[in-house]
Structure 1
């Protein structure tokens, strides 16, 4: 059949129109799909604050470095620990008289990366145990060492300088416990193959006693920085100052010995263990002096069970975790559960040099790390934050916890102002949320109960 040129032209234009309509239809369908997906995204991640938090990028708050210190085989000698936290970077230090230590940034938060997102108040109901007015009050603080730049400040300002702002608090409680992360000695030989070696003067022991500190754990990776001589001198100076110590000793029996103290008709047991030691020669084994290690938890569990039979309240202090990590690792969580199962009522952690969260397991509290307290200064702002944790043992056997925010200035703990302290409480509360706990704005710590 013959088709004229004009008919062919019209047919060609019709085909083009159909193609255009098809393309327009496809584009419209794609735009509708994109609009639908956008609506779902906005509803899911902006309309629901809990989902938004779950998808939040916390990379800015991650620690700069984590040190591998965990070993599952006791026969394997632990690797030396890289302790970059001990670098003296005291710009604007307490020497200037500025209580903030000059470290404040971001409107005085002194925090790295800001505060993690908080869950809305209406979504949770914190179950808080209130303290009895005449309950037994115990204060816990983190790492203390008085060498290097700290010693220079003490020489200039006096022995009471590190504890100027906390002395009255410690004098008013019934018991104060700290982690003494230094030998107190004038002798000994510095440990080899160790980046940071501490050595505090004999007057440090009496300064601790005058500040109201009653007991210290020696179970850490610095107490043998000047060998066995340094350890023996440390215990001698502490004994002279009337400060009880535990967690290390002249042999295995003394290192693992339970420290008992009587307060307000209650018998309290304290034990100290370390999961972080430079090498196995630091372990107290048999007649060898050293630290009560917990690379295997068997001995620790045995001693906790023994204390459970003799005491009204059993406290375990443990040196564990990775430095500058603000979240507990799996080894910390596992050990904590084993300690509680063995009979511990309260667990207080140290070594990370930063604050970590709180958790309650089988009704018993775990404070994974209280950070530095009186220490040198690193370049990591999270090490500049600390707290006094006050625990009240009530008459009914319950335990009330309250956190008091402090700056960990160079060689001195200084209370935070209300605004800065509020931000720190929120940050630690956010760290505790995944563990089922929360820190209220009055510092009281409780478990989270859902309201819906």
Structure 2
């Protein structure tokens, strides 16, 4: 049969249509198969791949040692006093004394008369402040919830425990921790002013944390002593050789580094007067960085910050026994510091915090600069804090590392030294570290110290013989305690 031209064209059109339908069906089938394979792959990866988040679970290995061998800091300022008992020995390349014309001298000279609790204010050595305030970024109940990813794994490079990991019940006679624990970390003094500020402006505000950030971020809560007011205003304190002021631009990097709480109870928080302290409080609140040890009155200064992780509440209290003048002390009528020359007020705050939290941490500014061993006041106060209910006491101010003490099953870390600070002539001030405390709901803690050294205000982990030497020195100056080659602290009670 002979088809007409129109019929032939119609049949060709139908064939093309059928081919197009078949092609669409094939493509849809292939797309469906690809989708099914993608879903199966995702399920298999989720089931078998383990936890891929290296955020705060302690599985990230520590950074290698990039610190310089000499541990040197900034060059000394002209005319720097090398007296070991004075903060005037600090190599402050920024020349902080020139800004206000303050007379040179010890940073913590005798205070005005009338200090509470008897005894003059000041220890003959400049101290670093810690601030306690109820104006922190907490809820109305004073509690702030933090994440908890469980205990970190061990196995860090150089034979040391991984960041955020602490031994659980190691050492003869030491009971094991409970099933639920929180991982807490602590550093020594952080200064973001003077010569450190010059380095920040040159290298970026995240410069100081570049080699240790993982140690600060892997714990549930990291706390540090902030050794400077944060303000663009203020009246410089008189009769102090070293008067600090830090820009609020430095705070976001501090928060991003992993620091969750700062103490303001120290001898620099009011370097720019009450105006500087109030600005500091405002800037910390804006940065959502809780603080302890200072406040708009004494009630706020002694009030704890309460964090929560894995159902365990941790209360942080900031105190200082280094107050340059009595007017720096907080009372019901004006801002200031939570002082602890007489421990009565501190003991009451600790007892109250213990009723509200499972673990009570006291961060205290005390002691004598550049002394390896705690003085009698440190020992007396540390024991009083623990007798009142503190589970862990962490000190600052001496600018060098002091040892640990085991007391009634609790721990005192007398000084964590400088962490981020201007250079000082004594090379021991460059030795630093991060202290990890793994604490259970009953308040029992196991400690691990990660040895570090700061070069140009940038701490970095130590390894090998340098790490072993620093840990051995710490062990030798500890009281009823020893530090092993992995940085774990053991009781000898």
Does the 8 A contact of 1:84 with 1:378 survive in 2? no
Does the 8 A contact of 2:435 with 2:449 survive in 1? yes
Partner of 1:273: 319
Distance 1:252 1:420, change over 3 A: same
Partner of 1:31: none
Does the 8 A contact of 1:69 with 1:276 survive in 2? no
Partner of 1:145: 191
- Cα distance, 1:126 vs structure 2: 5.3
Distance 1:164 1:133 in 2: 33
Distance 1:167 1:371 in 2: 18
Deviations 1:121-141 (A, max 9, x none): xxxx75566778973111000
Return the match for 1:287 from 333, 340, 348.
333
TM-score of the two chains, using structure 2 as the length reference: 0.67
Partner of 2:292: 246
Distance 1:395 1:154, change over 3 A: same
Distance 1:79 1:437, change over 3 A: closer
* Match status 1:78 vs 2:124: no
Deviations 1:344-383 (A, max 9, x none): 1100001101101101111110000000000001100111
- Cα distance, 1:410 vs structure 2: 2.7
Does the 8 A contact of 1:70 with 1:331 survive in 2? no
* Match status 1:445 vs 2:489: yes
Partner of 2:357: 311
- Cα distance, 1:195 vs structure 2: 0.9
Partner of 2:34: none
Does the 8 A contact of 2:248 with 2:283 survive in 1? yes
Return the match for 1:336 from 356, 366, 382.
382
* Match status 1:181 vs 2:227: yes
The more displaced of 292-301 and 198-207 is 198-207
- Cα distance, 1:297 vs structure 2: 0.6
* Match status 1:66 vs 2:110: no
* Match status 1:322 vs 2:368: yes
Matches within 5 A, 1:186-205: 186-205=232-251
TM-score of the two chains, using structure 1 as the length reference: 0.72
SS at structure 2 position matched to 1:141 = strand
Partner of 1:232: 278
Partner of 2:459: 413
Distance 1:65 1:166, change over 3 A: same
Distance 1:199 1:69 in 2: 20
Deviations 1:311-334 (A, max 9, x none): 100010110000001100111000
Partner of 1:13: none
SS at structure 2 position matched to 1:318 = strand
CA RMSD in angstroms comes to 2.4
SS at structure 1 position matched to 2:215 = helix
Distance 1:84 1:169 in 2: 25
Distance 1:182 1:136 in 2: 29
Distance 1:73 1:232, change over 3 A: closer
- Cα distance, 1:337 vs structure 2: 0.9
Distance 2:334 2:231 in 1: 20
- Cα distance, 1:404 vs structure 2: 0.2
The more displaced of 410-419 and 67-76 is 67-76
SS at structure 2 position matched to 1:149 = helix
- Cα distance, 1:84 vs structure 2: 11
Deviations 1:375-419 (A, max 9, x none): 001100111101100001136653110000011233211111221
Distance 2:384 2:431 in 1: 29
Does the 8 A contact of 2:110 with 2:325 survive in 1? no
Distance 1:397 1:190, change over 3 A: closer
Does the 8 A contact of 1:258 with 1:270 survive in 2? yes
Runs of 4+ in structure 1 off by over 6 angstroms are: 68-73, 129-134
Distance 1:82 1:296 in 2: 19
Distance 1:380 1:130, change over 3 A: farther
* Match status 1:368 vs 2:387: no
* Match status 1:164 vs 2:183: no
Deviations 1:164-200 (A, max 9, x none): 1121222221000000010011110110100101111
- Cα distance, 1:447 vs structure 2: 1.1
- Cα distance, 1:161 vs structure 2: 0.3
Gaps of 5+ in 1: 1-62, 86-124
Distance 1:342 1:185 in 2: 35
